[in-house]
Amino acid sequence: MADMTASPAPDSSQPVRDVAVIGSGPAGSSVAALLAESGHDVVLLDREHFPRHHVGESLIPAANRILDRLGLIDQLQDSSFIKKYSVQFVGPDGQESTPFYFDDFDPLGLGHTWQVVRSSFDRLLVDRASTLGAEIRTNTQATSVDFHEDTTATIWTRRIRKREGSLRPVRCRVVVDASGQSCFLANRMGLRQIDSRLRNGTIWTWYHNAKRGTGRDEGATIIFNSREHKSWFWYIPLPNNIVSVGCTAGTDWLFDNSLSAAEIFNRELSRCPSVAERLKDASQAEPFRTTRDFSYSSTELAGSGWVLVGDAYSFIDPVYSSGVFLAMASGEMAATAIHEALETDNTSAEQLGNWKQCYDAGVEKFRQLVYAFYDPSFNFSDFIRHHPDQRENLTELLVGNVFKPGVSGVFEGIKPMLTSG
């Protein structure tokens, strides 16, 4: 079990909070909100200040149940966020799959979820955590953690914007790492492992006045494969006539030190006429942004007095828009384990990580779908044509019902279609 070296001398003058959460994205805000609602003393730390830009604008319907538990559905219904009723896949030859509509698979019966602007959506979540009683400290960077022999921990923090050099302690019974892809604890403990099969990168931006569907297809997420399956594009409609467009591919193919992000993006756009046609009358509304090697996992989920949630634990790939849902689902599962730990005074690794097996099994279903997507021999239209009886199970997975029993049969039909067999 990986743990930091125990420090035997905590500052006894410091108050001991129940939980300190590092990071106020969807995972951190969810776990903080649910624990505060249960009556625990929670402080939520984040080095940034809202609003902030973030990739990952597309939700999937399985998130609706957690959003409902957080009391946010009415606010989302009244928001300007675009309603998302389906997802669709387009092959490199322009062949379009039948849209996978969510009507019968949404746990609340709404038939839709949302395409969100993450700066506004993340603020909605953190404000809810504050309303439920969590203390929010933005512009506060966690620099290190000491775990003490008395089973408490001290997080050392520094204020960002005031340029204060002095470190300030936050002492707590449980540390929740929700720091996203910076993987605050996992990197310090040597737990992070890159997925060798998914060494990918992404270049993305926003466009104004890009072509979008009509009616309930206006908000559909569309996934486009480029020629020879070298890259793929996401196409996500947002409010104010904005569409988020991102290109993902293997890092060896995508990134070229001699080319700018714009030049690489346009190179791939020329290899995907279906996207290029939709952007022909559009203008770029945001600068290009890039990321790489974002598919990874951690060898451990929890230790004595600490637990990882969301991207701080693992992230697989953006193709199925699973990131926000898995972040919130891990936050919900962790909150249950932490609540029980605090109530029974048992903050052991076994207690704090008792949801690992269930969570990993669900993530693995997404992972296998991701592997299939990247296999040049697989496409959704052919799969449904040969296995119409599996359309319901496949849709269950695409909407995020990966923790539901009985949906794994879809992989028996997928495996023979893959290059690897």
Q: Are residues 174 and 300 in the same domain?
A: yes
Q: Domain for residue 78, yes or no? A: no
On the question of pLDDT at 6 being above 60, the answer is no
What per-residue confidence (pLDDT) applies to 162?
Answer: 62
In the chain, pLDDT over 70 holds for what percent of residues?
96
The verdict on residue 370 lying in a domain is no
Asked whether the predicted pLDDT for residue 51 surpasses 90, the reply is no
Number of Cβ atoms within 10 Å of the Cβ of 138: 17
**Over the stretch 104-157, which tens digit does the pLDDT of each residue have?**
898 899 999 999 999 999 999 999 999 999 999 999 999 999 999 999 999 999
- CA 282, CA 101: separation in Å to the nearest integer? 27
Average pLDDT over residues 149-168: 85
Q: Do 392 and 286 share a domain, yes or no?
A: no
Please give the average per-residue pLDDT across 414-420, as a whole number: 87
What is the reported pLDDT for 10?
72
Closest CA to 307 of 32, 121, 54, 64: 32
Q: How confident is the model at residue 241 (pLDDT cuts 50, 70, 90)?
A: very high
Task: Assess whether 49 and 178 both reside in one domain.
Answer: yes
Query: Which pLDDT value is given to residue 8?
Result: 57
Confirm whether 368 is domain-assigned: no
Q: Are residues 136 and 36 in the same domain?
A: yes
CA dist 265 and 261 (Å) reads 6
pLDDT over 80 at 416, yes or no: yes
Question: What residues make up the domain containing 392?
Answer: 375-417
Question: Which tokens in the block code for residue 62?
Answer: 């399985």
Q: Are residues 211 and 189 in the same domain?
A: no
Quote the CA–CA distance of 348 and 346 in Å, as a whole number.
6
Residue 267 CA to residue 179 CA, distance in Å, equals 33
Residues 61 and 151 occupy one common structural domain: yes
For the cut 80, the answer to whether the pLDDT of residue 401 exceeds it is yes
The DSSP H or E segment spanning 173 is strand 168-177
Domain end, chosen from 273, 292, 311, is at 292
Q: Which residue in this structure is represented by tokens 């675009």?
A: 82
DSSP helix/strand/coil, 371: helix
Residue with token string 């952007």: 279
Domain boundary among the residues 238, 272, 292 is at 292
> Residue 324 to residues 60, 378, 407: CA-CA distances in angstroms?
8, 26, 21
In a domain, 75, yes or no: no
62 and 28 in a common domain: yes
- Are residues 363 and 326 in contact, defined by beta-carbon separation less than 8 angstroms? yes
Distance separating the N- and C-terminal Cα atoms of the chain: 36
Q: 369 in a domain, yes or no?
A: no
Asked if 400 contacts 61 with a C-beta cutoff of 8 angstroms, the reply is yes
Counting the structural domains of the chain, the total is 3
Alpha-carbon torsion 119, 121, 124, 128, what sign? negative
Closest residue by Cα to residue 143 from 134, 133, 154: 154
Residue 53 has pLDDT above 90, yes or no: no
How far apart CA 302 and CA 50 sit, in angstroms, is: 29
149 and 56, same structural domain?
yes
Per-residue pLDDT tens digits for 80-104 = 999 999 999 999 999 999 999 999 8
Boundary residue ending a domain (268, 292, 316): 292
Residue 416 preceded by cis peptide, ω within 30: no
What's the pTM?
Answer: 0.94
